[in-house]
Amino acid sequence: GDAESVATLRQLTGAAAGGTGGAGGVSGMATGDSAAQRLAVAIDDVLATAGFEFDLNQQKRLLRIAAYAKGFMPTYDSHEFVARCKRIRALRALREADVGMLMTMHQLECIPIDRVARRLTEQHRYRLAFELCKALGGRQDVVVTAWCKAKMHSMLSAEGAVDGNGRPHDNEDPALAKQLDERINQTLLQIMTRAPGLNYIGIADEAQKCRRDHLFMKLLEQEPSVANRVDALKHYGFMEQALAQAVDSGDAGLVYNCLIHLSNLPDALFPKLAAVDVRRNDTVATDLACVYLTHFATAGNMQKEALKMRPDLGVHLQLLQYLETLAQHRRMPSEKRIERHETCVLQLLTTVGAVAECVRDARQHAHAQGRKDREAEFQTMERHVDMQDALLNEQRALAKEAGDLLFLNLSVLQTLQRIWEVSIGRPNFAHKANEFAKKFNVTEKQNQWAKLRAFAARNAPQAIAEMGGLKSGSKAKTVLPPMAFVDTLMKMGSLELATQFVAKLPRIEDRLEYFVQCKAWGEAAAQCVKHKQPGMLEQLKHRAGNDAEAVSAINRALGQ
């Protein structure tokens, strides 16, 4: 019984306090295995007895005795002691007459705390359930969620906002309803701050079931996840707010999901809701949403409104159309592209013209709004579009004159290379190539690279040699390095011409390597002798190995 346990504690603590004197006595007793074990067992017995005790005063007395005895044993587990004291206090609270849950300590330890808390919430004892979960490690968020829902209903009933069956009244004054929602929200916020990780969506759903839209919005603001907020807004039909929150988040996936949901709404409703976005601030997220909006077939009216308010969206759409047209032409086989040449040219010219018109409108719109940064951006874009228009017209004229319809749909450098290809055997086109390069601001180095690639594509090694200034009496000057000619001619298989360019390489190591690759062993040996490199000469002989032709060429160069 408790009397025996208490007597044991008194005997042990008295011996410890008087036997060795104060703290030293505690330390000395703690080191004695037998006394320490007996004291620990006695403390456990007193705590267990307190758990079975129904008399409040006697229970408090036992806990004080156990706490006093624990002071004589520093090695006793403090955390376990505190946990057992919490369970005893929780058990005492559950045994109160108004609660009426007569449980034993063994039952409390076996039954999950969340089940006990759920039983308390069913009795509307939310604070007790919350404190029980807080002390014993239960789900505080579940209790607080139920607490908030119940508090909401009780405040609505107290204010007469719902009838006897909990249904809201239809004739409630909107201003008074908003004031009531604000008061309820403030009250619920005080409760919600008690528990982390709360199910704010569940509480907001309860407000929506009571048709409290303003309260629903205020509670939804507490939800940290934008995706959850957007889903809840879509579920209850608040599409304008859902789209606005998705746009503010900058999450492209959320914006797209909102627009997919909008596209399934009736046509008359979709433009009205979707156009909300174009009236918002000019942010990157807004631009993204507007671009998405323009891709839905049901958004015809919205597109007109969006393009009227945001001409830059028209630029984007026209550019998309132009790029799509360009991609379609590039996917065509050459034969089909030639057959539909005129159609393709006209379609591209029309699209580029539409882009140019949209860019001008957008620039004027930005100027009217005083947006100098956007105006400068559109001016740059306008120059690019004008250049593209000029390129298409130039390609059309070249195709007509050369009888080569493959000029269409090429970039500036590709067009320049095509002109150089045509210039082989047609000298007047060489002049056109240089004029074209000057007109489209192509540098001399880019021009010569295009020329070199064109001659290589037409397999014209002699033209490359003339370009590089190998022919006697040639006045041609090139800005390309000799290595460019060497690599090009070697790929074409013109090793003899490549050897002549190898001699122009600045580094002897490169000259020797490329002479060997061109099978010009004699020239390589002559370079070693000329520059007095006996070590390189030995390496050259070693690389020649048993190749009789290579060895013979080396010996001839050395005069042997």
Task: Write the pLDDT tens digit of every residue in 267-326.
Answer: 544 554 445 544 444 455 555 555 665 555 444 555 555 566 566 666 666 666 667 766
Q: Is 57 helix (H, G, I), strand (E, B) or coil?
A: helix
| Between 240 and 440, residue with greater pLDDT | 440
Tell me which residue of 157, 151, 179 sits closest to 169, measured CA to CA: 157
pLDDT at residue 449, rounded to an integer: 92
Report residue 129 CA to chain centroid gap: 41
Tell me which residue of 35, 45, 38, 56 sits closest to 4, measured CA to CA: 45
Q: CA angle, 532 as apex, 527 and 535 as ends, to 5°?
A: 90
22-59 pLDDT tens trace: 444 444 444 456 777 777 777 777 777 776 766 667 76
Look at residue 370 and tell me whether its pLDDT is greater than 70. Answer: yes
The whole-angstrom separation of Cα 363 and Cα 314 is 12
CB crowding 19-30: b at 16 or more within 10 Å, else e: eeeeeebbeebb
The whole-angstrom separation of Cα 419 and Cα 414 is 9
pLDDT at residue 380, rounded to an integer: 73
The whole-angstrom separation of Cα 419 and Cα 439 is 14
User: Cα torsion for 308, 309, 311, 317, to the nearest 10°?
Assistant: -80
Beta carbons of 378 and 363 less than 8 angstroms apart: yes
Other residues' Cβ atoms within 10 Å of the Cβ of residue 513: 14
The model's pTM is 0.45
456-497 pLDDT tens trace: 988 888 888 888 887 655 666 788 888 898 898 888 888 888
| Between 176 and 163, residue with greater pLDDT | 176
Q: What is the DSSP secondary-structure string of 169-186?
A: PSS--HHHHHHHHHHHHH
* Residues present in the chain in total: 560
Beta carbons of 374 and 315 less than 8 angstroms apart: no
pLDDT at residue 31, rounded to an integer: 47
The whole-angstrom separation of Cα 408 and Cα 422 is 14
DSSP classification of residue 493:
T
Task: Look at phi and psi of residue 403 and say left if phi exceeds 0, alpha if psi is from -120 to 50, else beta.
Answer: left
Average pLDDT of the residues in 512-517: 86
The mean predicted confidence, pLDDT, of the chain is 75
532-541 pLDDT tens trace: 888 888 888 8
- Residue 462's Cβ-side half-sphere holds a number of Cα atoms within 13 Å equal to 3
pLDDT at residue 479, rounded to an integer: 83
